[in-house]
Structure 1
Amino acid sequence: MARLRVRSAPEASVPFTDAETGAVHAFNGEVYRDGAMTPGGGLDEARSACEPELVDGMYAAASSPSEHVLRLVRDPLGIKPLYVRETPVGVAVSSEVVPLLGAFGPASVRTEAFAQFLLTGRRVVDGGSFFEGIRPVAPGESMTLEAGEITASTRSVPRCSEPSAPAPGELRARFEEAVDRVLLSERPIGVALSGGLDSTILARVLARRGVRHMPTVSVCPEGTGDGVRSLGELGLNDGAVATWRHRWTSFGPSDLLDGLPSAVRAFGEPVAMTSVPMYAALAKLAGASGITVLLVGEGADELFAGYDRYVPLYAGTVGDPVDFYLSQERLKLVRELIGSDLAEAAADALRAAVGRSEAVAEQRHGRRPGSVDVVREFEYEHSLEPLLRRTDHLLMAEGIEGRTPFLHAGIPDLARRYPSSALVRGNLTKAVLREEFADLLPSHYRKMAKQPFRAPVHRWFSGTGLPRMDSALAGTTELLYHGLGVLPTGVRTLRDRLAQGDPLAFTMAFGLLCAAEWISWLEESPTAEEEASYAGR
């Protein structure tokens, strides 16, 4: 076992052994506060994470108080990943999927999970994974293992939100406190800049605090205005910024497709997010810049309603939250690709997942939830958690710890107290963030539309890049059929829609190409050495 050292003593061995109790702790993450105290790095953090009632941090921890007992815990938002594989002969636990694939014999692929992946464009929504017997430990879940079996599992019960909206300035004070907390490190810290609202607020707060010699990094997709090529673009003219060092890298269509194999190997399963190869490029740039701890803006969009797709929801035009996620056009195309039975089963799994979010929302608010309430609950687990996993896996692959200031110092609970009208106003998303930090932002940020961190697949491949995508998809037809049951007639239909310039077809094609890379990787059967290298991360 190996651990990226950020605060623990260089000589501290892992796992950590408590000399007082004899308990052994494996710990991944950071604990910024335990009540009013900041625990020391290493063993003290592990102790706090295993009793997390008053803890603010990001963590996945395993504690063994005795020889045959193992207790697992994961932070309430799932910032740090944790997976468990349960079989008739034993239970295995890991921060990544890959080491679990060979534990107790090969893990079988779940075709129903692949169907959910195609339909939702997200990760599996039924609580499992792409493999039989492997599932993520849910955010906020605690689990006990005894004698090779899971004997207990509980999940933190959501608290009823306070009815009163936060006072003016309260959010800003909390965020400034969160920034102070995530700056706790003995290793070099840097900032990821996208040019969007969240990372710009973070940079401006750091600059106002007089933080000096801060390395910053950005990825700039070709043919778009996304990314940051110069700190001057953000209106950063504070004295401390003159000492900052900014680096950026361009990212184009070839980088996207060429990055699929490494993305699959990092995750151990297919991904539908076109941002994954981009994030891998960001991670490499951060590593080359000498950064060990990278501050990122993840979480703000889910907490404060940042995506443009939220506008009709908050306007009250979405009556059933299932309709917000279940695209009939996409369902039709998935039927063409894998048949009606699997497609309809995936739709049922999505409806059930939304139903579970509705139950949590009712428990949290103590009333029958509206569509906005249900979607906000669903987004935490099925939108935010996969993004956090992306951050963790790709940064840790480069020996970097990602930190998310928008998710600490009580900000998630604070965000739930805002009424819908404070989050989305007309077509303007994240309205409360723009207001709270208005004096720090260049004027155009107050009305600037959300720029998603993703590759513009349709723009890149609908013109001169179409032959490459079409050829790649055609070349995977047999592999997808034998490996995942994707119908050749469905692939032909998808290729026809690519030729017609259908944006949905390009999104689906990217997912299928990633799935084909995944099947190829599985057929290579990772060696024991490769699994050991993952287990050591």
Structure 2
Amino acid sequence: MCGIAGFYGPYTRPDLTAMAVALAHRGPDGEGFELRSGRQEPDIAGLAHRRLSIIDLAGGSQPMWSSDGRYCIVFNGEIYNYQALRQELAAEGARFATHSDTEVIVEGWRLRGPGILDALAGMFAFGIWDDLEKAWILARDRAGIKPLYYATPRPGALVFASEIKPLLPFLRSVAPNPEALCNYLLYSWIAGPQTIFEGVRHLPPGQWAVWRPADTELSHRPYWEPSSERSHLGFEEAAAELEARFDEAVKSHMVADVPVGITLSGGLDSSAVLSSMIKMTGPAALDAFTIGFGLADDETPFAEIMAGHAGIRHHTRTVPKERVGVDFARLVRSLEEPIGHPVLQTTLEMSAYAREKVKIVLIGEGSDELFLGYPQYRLLMAPFRYAPAAVVQNYFLAVTCLMPRPRELAAMLDPAVFQKPMLDAVSHRFDPYFRSGDLVEGAQRFEIENSLIANQLARIDKLTMAHGLEARVPFLDNQFVAFARSLPADYKLRQGSTKAILRKAMAKRLPDTILHRPKSGKKGTQALLPYLNGLVTNGPLSELISRDAITRRGWLDADRVLGYLEQGNSLAVRNHPIERRRRAKFAYGLAVIEQWARSYLD
């Protein structure tokens, strides 16, 4: 895992060095640079790399050239099948000088071109400089685990990086993208390819791009599309196959030349990952990490049950909840884009704690999207699913995002900044997922292609890498995802239970307390939400959503915003399971966006 950056244009070595400095937290183990002449003076191509050494500790330094000297790569991520690919490519004429997965990619590109991309099993984002054609090639993994941001700040120029901060000095000005800001205020995250920064975009997952100096924009195209193939296995057979495939996914994700740990919540997903890890290494070799905040609904007791059952080394830390207010500005700056997620502090603290002992952790993200595990998926079961699609969509998004309705937000927005056609477009951008074809399949695609990437994976990448910690996501293994998505919806939503087939697959491995622990919006990872709401409404973060702060920012009508939030004190809203949480989440979301603006705009 690393931080990568590159450019083309009339730039300099100090510009490249500054990009690497901005990524130093992602790669504390080393750095590397390469400069090449462009098509004409004064243009040059630059590649920068900050390394977190995981595989081939002695020989995997970057930037790295192909054996014929044509291609130079900077790569962030891990390729779990690199050893098998290395053998295939060697038979095709590849010449290897290291034992790194980086060299497998660049030699694979030399021999197969974009055909190598679909063969890569792992998480990745990379840039390859073609020194013959004087062109950039960019690519990103199909799940969107690793980010890749880019900008074209002037004609004939391109800059890209693992994070946004290295790109900002190249922009003419740092300004918010109104459409992205509107997206955030409706959903609490920003769906790509746009970002909150005007002029900065990210390469969509599962796509690659070629850029030449004559190009005005980066043209990208998919190298992979989800399969429409459906499994015909019976439920019992499918559960057994799922168990075997999951073990293979976890095994592949443990490839490393350094120890691998796990973040353990005591929920079904992280416990399933742990059970597979134990099959590979035995319990004595594993370190698991759990964070609590001393709250009644902390997940620490569940994690302790699972750790005791597994017999592993379990490390727990209780963090004073007051740290939330103290760390808030640093946390939001690390995110780079606003995300209104109540587990941000948990992720930040967990990353710092785990990094004290390991460089890599396996995590359980992706399971809820694959196996319909979130509470909103119950709306897709009878009798709710027989309601009109628009009604189901509205309720599904309400439970998923817990932000104001479009008409409520429209009344709060400054019309000079947010014009009605923009709000209409943003509020209807996800309609195709719910209005055509199978409703369950559409809702799942919405989660996998949008909120999983923008709300979950972005948070994990930024906050783990803020501490130089690599987080691996075995539930998003290519082959496992394909199999899980091929299973019928009624294998996942079954007899009132979510993730039914995953529970069946893990039935012999996990204690009943863990196996049947329900997903909750107020316990476990979201136990901080009531405390966060107090910090924002009456505590040290309340100034961020004050009348003066809202008015100075100029995006929203302060009277209408505060009136909307004040409704949370009414008896009707306090007793409403969605409306009460909408206002609490919106207040927190407003604090995040104001802190973001102070970090990047003021």
* Conserved? CA contact 1:35–1:55, under 8 Å: no
Deviation at 1:151, TM superposition (A): 5.5
SS of residue paired to 1:73: strand
Could you tell me whether the CA contact under 8 Å between 2:266 and 2:302 is conserved in 1? Answer: no
Q: In structure 1, give the amino acid aligned to 2:448.
A: Y
Change (3 A) 1:354 1:26: farther
2:33 match:
none
- Residue 355 of structure 2: aligned partner: 287
- Give the aligned partner of residue 291 of structure 2: 219
**1:64-97 residue CA offsets vs partner (Å, 9 max, x unmatched):** 1226201001011101111111233322111111
Specify the alignment match of 1:527 in structure 2: none
In 2 relative to 1, CA 445–414 (structure 1 residues): closer, same or farther, beyond 3 Å? Answer: same
2:75 alignment counterpart: 27
Q: Tell whether 2:196 aligns with 1:130.
A: yes
In the TM superposition, what are the counterparts of 1:136-151 in structure 2 within 5 Å?
136-147=202-213, 149=215, 150=217
Q: 1:171 aligns with which of 210, 232, 242?
A: 242
Superposition TM-score, scaled by structure 1 size = 0.87
Give how far 1:7 is off: 0.2
Deviation at residue 498 of structure 1 after TM alignment: 4.4
Where 2:78 maps in the other structure, the secondary structure is strand
Q: Does 1:182 align with 2:253?
A: yes
1:258 corresponds to which of 320, 326, 334 = 326
Q: Tell me if structure 2 keeps the 8 A contact 1:16–1:42.
A: no
Q: Could you tell me which amino acid in structure 1 is paired with residue 482 of structure 2?
A: D
Which consecutive residues of structure 1, in runs of 5 or more, have no partner in the other structure? 360-367, 525-537
Closer, same or farther: CA 26–292 of 1 in aligned 2, 3 Å: same
8 Å contact kept, 1:193–1:199 = yes
| Counterparts in 2 of 1:38 and 1:330: CA distance versus 1, 3 Å | farther
Kindly state the Cα deviation for residue 249 of structure 1 after the two structures are TM-superposed: 2.4
* Structure 2 residue aligned with 1:313: 380
User: Do the aligned partners of 1:32 and 1:182 also contact (CA within 8 Å) in 2?
Assistant: yes
- Show CA shifts across 1:463-504 (max 9, x none): 7985217843454x3333333512111232144234445322
Which of 1 and 2 has higher RCO (CA within 8 Å, sep 6+)?
Answer: 1
Secondary structure in 1 matching 2:152: strand
Match of 1:486 in 2: 556
Instruction: Return the match for 2:151 from 85, 88, 96.
Output: 85
Q: Is residue 2:476 matched to residue 1:412?
A: no
Give the direction of change, closer, same or farther, for the CA distance of 1:135–1:196 in structure 2 (3 Å limit).
same
Q: CA deviation at 1:429?
A: 0.8
The 5-angstrom pairing of residues 7-406 of structure 1 reads 7-33=55-81, 36-37=84-85, 40-47=99-106, 48=108, 51-66=116-131, 68-89=134-155, 90-123=157-190, 125=191, 127-147=193-213, 149=215, 150=217, 152-166=219-233, 167-168=237-238, 169-209=240-280, 210-228=282-300, 232-234=304-306, 236-238=308-310, 241=311, 244-251=312-319, 253-288=321-356, 290-315=357-382, 316-317=385-386, 319-320=389-390, 322-327=393-398, 330-339=405-414, 342=419, 345-355=422-432, 357=433, 369-386=437-454, 387-406=456-475
The answer (yes or no) to whether the contact 2:287–2:314 under 8 Å persists in 1 is: yes
Query: 1:176 offset after TM fit, Å?
Result: 0.6
C-alpha separation between the residues in 1 aligned to 2:320 and 2:437?
Answer: 43
Equivalent residue number for residue 585 of structure 2: 507
| Residue in 2 that maps onto 1:535 | none
Tell me how far apart the structure 1 counterparts of residues 470 and 162 of structure 2 sit (CA, whole Å): 14
What residue identity is the alignment partner of 1:227?
Answer: E
Query: 1:521 matched to which residue of 2?
Result: 599
In structure 2, relative to structure 1, the CA distance for the partners of 1:457 and 1:112 (3 Å cut) is farther
SS at 1:53 equivalent: helix
Which stretch has the larger CA shift, 49-58 or 16-25? 49-58
Query: For 1:202 and 1:237, how far apart are their aligned partners in 2?
Result: 14
User: Contact conserved, 1:9 with 1:42, CA < 8 A, in 2?
Assistant: no
Amino acid at match of 1:10: A
SS of the aligned residue for 1:309 comes to helix
Mapped to 2, the partners of 1:75 and 1:456 lie a distance apart of 32
Q: How far 1:415 moved relative to its partner?
A: 1.0
For each residue in 1:417-448, what CA deviation from the matched residue of structure 2 results, as whole angstroms up to 9, or x when unmatched? 11111011243110000001100011233432
Question: What per-residue deviation string (whole Å, max 9, x for no partner) do you get for residues 260-303 of structure 1?
Answer: 21122112222211211210011011112x11011101111111
Point out the more displaced range, 175-184 or 256-265.
Answer: 256-265
Query: Is the 1:263–1:277 Cα contact (8 Å) retained in structure 2?
Result: yes
Aligned equivalents of 2:567 and 2:139: distance in 1?
46
Contact (CA 8 Å) 1:330, 1:504: kept in 2 or not? no
1:166-219 Cα distance to aligned partner (Å, 9 max, x none)? 443111111111111111111121100011000111112222431533111112
Residue deviations 1:22-56, cap 9 Å, x none?
A: 31001000111259546742432432586212221
Q: Tell me by how many angstroms 1:411 deviates.
A: 0.9
The alignment status of 1:460 with 2:531, answered yes or no, reads yes
Question: What's the CA shift for 1:253?
Answer: 4.8
Q: Which amino acid aligns with 2:490?
A: S
Structure 2 runs not aligned, ≥5 long: 1-48, 88-98, 575-579
- Paired residue secondary structure (1:101): helix
- 2: CA distance between counterparts of 1:173 and 1:273? 33
How far apart, CA to CA, are the structure 2 residues paired with 1:461 and 1:65? 49
Whether the 8 Å contact between 2:142 and 2:224 is mirrored in structure 1 is no
> How far apart are the structure 1 equivalents of 2:83 and 2:378?
37
Distance 1:11 1:413, change over 3 A: closer
Q: What is the alpha-carbon distance in structure 1 between the residues aligned to residue 126 and residue 316 of structure 2?
A: 35
How many residue pairs were aligned?
508
Aligned-partner SS, 1:87: coil
User: Is the contact made by 1:74 and 1:139 (CA closer than 8 Å) also made in structure 2?
Assistant: yes
The separation in 1 between residues aligned to 2:218 and 2:340, in whole angstroms, is 34
1:58 Cα offset (Å): 0.5
Change (3 A) 1:383 1:519: same
- Tell me if the contact between 2:186 and 2:404 (Cα under 8 Å) persists in the aligned partners: no
The sequence identity of aligned pairs, in percent, is: 24
Q: Secondary structure at the match of 1:410?
A: helix
- Tell me which moved more, 337-346 or 152-161: 337-346
Q: Compared with structure 1, are the counterparts of its residues 38 and 482 closer, same or farther at alpha carbon in structure 2 (3 Å cutoff)?
A: farther
Q: Helix, strand or coil: the match of 1:486?
A: coil
Looking at structure 2, the residues matched to 20 and 437 of structure 1 have their Cα atoms a distance apart, in angstroms, of 49
CA contact (8 A) 1:313 1:371 kept: yes
Partner of 1:440: helix, strand, or coil? coil
Distance 1:305 1:16, change over 3 A: same
Decide whether the 8 Å contact of 1:304 with 1:423 is kept in 2. Answer: yes
In 1, the alpha carbon distance for the partners of 2:446 and 2:511 equals 33
TM-score by length of 2: 0.78
User: Residue 311 and residue 231 in structure 1: after superposition, are their counterparts in 2 closer, same or farther (change >3 A)?
Assistant: closer
Offset at residue 113 of structure 1 (A): 1.6
> For structure 1, which segment, 481-490 or 63-72, has the greater mean C-alpha deviation from structure 2 after superposition?
481-490
